[in-house]
Amino acid sequence: MTAARGTSHRKLVFIAVLLLSAALLFCGFFSLLPPDGAAYALLSGSLPEGYYAAAGEDGDWYFSEEYLDIAGAGVILARLRAEYDFSELEPVVIAVIDTGVNTDAEIFGTGTDDDVFLRNAVGDIVGRNTVDNNADISDGATADSHGTHVTGILALLIRALGLTDCVKIMPVKAGEYVASLGGSGNSFDYNDVARAIDFALENGADVVNLSLGTDNAPITSRWKDIVSESDSEQAVFVAAAGNYANSSGFKPFYPAASENVIGVMNYEESEHGARLHYVEPSKGSNYGTLYDVCAPGTDIVSADGKTGGYKAMSGTSMASPAAAFAVALTALKCRLTGFDTSPDELREMFDLTFRDTMEYDGEEYPLLSVTGALEAEFARDASGNVYLASAADAEAAFSPDSLTLGGYGTLMLTADEDWLDTGAQYRWDYVSDGMSMTAYGSRVTIGIDVREPGEVQVVLSVYTPDGAELLARKQLNIPTEYFVPTAENSSLTLSMRADDDGTVTLSEGETLVLGVDTLRYASPDTETVWYVNGRESSREQSFEFDPAEDGVYTLFVTVNGVRIGDEVTVVAEGRGSARDRAAMIGGICGGAGGAALIAAAIAVAVHSARKKKAAAGGGNGE
């Protein structure tokens, strides 16, 4: 029995080992398959354990699908790596003009395969200190290590998506701590920043991040033009919009509000999605139409320049590098696909990568989309204008689902719902109340007057930016619905004016026509019932009331059992005795004799009426 028990035990162990091996093989096999973005935190990137300890096991809040969707971006990059050769790709270079950087912070991967810095032929970091005019790029912001934190955000995004081989950082120190300023005490001299821009451009920067600026009126005129048109033709400039909760219409912050710069506002997470960061008056993200895009910038975990570890900071300074990274992704996608572009054009293309908006103070602001930067496919028209190739596959949609007959309705028309703007031209043609109408734009709201039943046709035509080539044409057939009359939306109509007391006086020979103003647009099956003195009198849409006798009558109507309007009181006069007696006598006598009798009866009736009137009035009788 002992031997049998031992043999049985060995068999069980063997089976368990086989099952475990199969399970490991199964997991290993499926780990090689392309991951689902929703279930895969980071695709091929490499982030230190220290980062997860500081930010959480899934990374920072803005990594999630609801915001920048870093996992989704990783899935797209995996497809691109399978389709294109990254090995010969020239890196996209992002210059960070700030207070410098402490390169020994863990996130930068300095000296490892995960090194994020651009290096020259001898292995030195390509960077410059324009404050002291030397090569010392160490962070001069001794209070908060501003430049290290800003640069660290770029490093995080680069490493999270495994792009250390094709996106590199060029640190340029142009600011430092000045104790007398108070607060963080970081100061940027105009000339130091100008020299930093020159250095970045001379050394091949494709994108330049400026998490700095001013709204100080006496000096903003200089800062407004610190990025010249010539500079913007050599690189794309991205800048923080400032943190004073001011509108750009009230107090613009430069260089972010400059024409040659992409200005970046700061949003935070909320239960309803992205929300502009606001703390209190004079503390929160600046906003306004002079800025271009909103990006996550609140409680962002990044490098701590003092400890080499991690800390969270908030501000448009933290939002700006995220936008700069997305611009770099757009440039990377162009290089992979062989789509040659200039910096001017790259900025226009970046504006076409947005997919959603955030509302604040009555304005809609675009939200940064990392996946949009990677998924956008570009094309050019005959005039050289850039647009999204997906415009040729435009799908049109409308809301609400139908239009109601009988009035001026609002219709929202949308094309290319995946993108806020494709760069193409959109034309909508339709008919409103018999008139041909046209509206332009990928998202339009039109007023349309529908008077006849049947489908309303709206035709969408999509053209290249220059308008020369038709890319697509779609027809929408929008159903119409009959109007449903109710006491609230319908009124009683009368062919005669009522007296001040609401009474209609109906004299001899007059007919009162009543109706309901909305019935012409109601379904033919609508049940309309007219009542006279409480008794049903007609079921027609309109009712002609011509009483046979003098008297007071009460009229009302119901539509589908619901009373519409108030009761109408009608006083009928001049329709009584003399006429009725004459008609009766004429019917009895007939012929010429009858006519004579009728005439006599009328004469008697008239004489009698006059006599009564004279007696009542006290006048002389005949």
What is residue 576's predicted lDDT score, i.e. its pLDDT?
66
Phi and psi torsions of 393, nearest 5°: -105, 30
Catalytic residue among 146, 184, 231, 416: 146
What is residue 130's predicted lDDT score, i.e. its pLDDT?
98
Task: Give me the residues paired with residue 432 across strands.
Answer: 435
Q: Are 313 and 303 in contact (CB under 8 A)?
A: no
End-to-end CA distance of the chain: 150
Catalytic residue among 98, 114, 192, 381: 98
The DSSP symbol for 611 reads: H
> What CATH architecture applies to the domain 49-376?
3-Layer(aba) Sandwich (3.40)
> What CATH architecture applies to the domain 482-601?
Sandwich (2.60)
Q: What is the 3-state secondary structure (H, E, C) of 466-478?
A: CCCCEEEEEEEEE
Which residues have a Cβ under 8 Å from the Cβ of 359 and sit 6 or more positions away?
A: 365
Domains 390-481 and 482-601 share a fold: yes
Extended strands (E) in 235-380: 236-240, 261-268, 275-276, 278-280, 283-284, 293-296, 300-303, 310-313, 357-360, 363-366, 378-380
**Run of H or E including 446:** strand 443-450
Across all residues in the chain, what is the average pLDDT? Answer: 87
Q: Give me the torsion for CA of 122, 126, 129, 134, rounded to 10°.
A: 20
Q: How far apart are CA 252 and CA 216, in angstroms?
A: 9
- Name the percent of the chain lying above pLDDT 70: 85
Helix (H, G, I), strand (E, B) or coil at 91: coil
Peptide bond just before 255 cis, omega within 30 deg:
yes
How confident is the model over 166-188, as pLDDT tens digits? 999 999 999 998 877 765 678 99
pLDDT band at 330 (very low <50, low <70, confident <90, very high): very high
- Please tell me the CATH code under which domain 390-481 is placed: 2.60.40.10
pLDDT band at 15 (very low <50, low <70, confident <90, very high): very low
Tell whether the model's pLDDT for residue 307 goes beyond 60.
Answer: yes
Per the annotation, the verdict on 146 as an active-site residue is yes
How confident is the model over 467-517, as pLDDT tens digits? 999 999 999 999 999 999 999 999 999 999 998 888 999 999 999 999 999
- Report the predicted TM-score, pTM, of the whole model to 2 decimal places: 0.78
Per the annotation, the verdict on 198 as an active-site residue is no
Per the annotation, the verdict on 402 as an active-site residue is no
User: Among 478, 369, 476, 475, which residue's Cα sits nearest to residue 421?
Assistant: 369
Tell whether the model's pLDDT for residue 607 goes beyond 80.
Answer: no
Tell whether the model's pLDDT for residue 592 goes beyond 70.
Answer: no
pLDDT band at 311 (very low <50, low <70, confident <90, very high): very high
Number of Cβ atoms within 10 Å of the Cβ of 472: 18
Dihedral angle sign, alpha carbons of residues 111, 116, 121, 127: negative
What is residue 568's predicted lDDT score, i.e. its pLDDT?
95
Q: Are 460 and 415 in contact (CB under 8 A)?
A: yes
Tell whether the model's pLDDT for residue 45 goes beyond 80.
Answer: no
pLDDT average, residue stretch 354-379? 96
Chain length of the chain: 622
Which residues have a Cβ under 8 Å from the Cβ of 600 and sit 6 or more positions away?
A: none
The sheet carrying 435-440 orders its strands as 435-440, 425-432, 456-463, 470-478
How confident is the model over 65-101, as pLDDT tens digits? 999 999 999 999 999 999 999 998 999 999 999 999 9
pLDDT average, residue stretch 148-155? 98
The angle formed by the CA atoms of residues 262, 107 and 275, to the nearest 5 degrees, is 40
Going from N- to C-terminal start, the domains of the chain cover: 49-376, 390-481, 482-601
Catalytic residue among 248, 258, 317, 490: 317
Report the amino acid identity of residue 124: D
pLDDT average, residue stretch 352-363? 96
pLDDT average, residue stretch 228-257? 97
Paired tokens of 514 = 């009543």
pLDDT average, residue stretch 37-48? 55
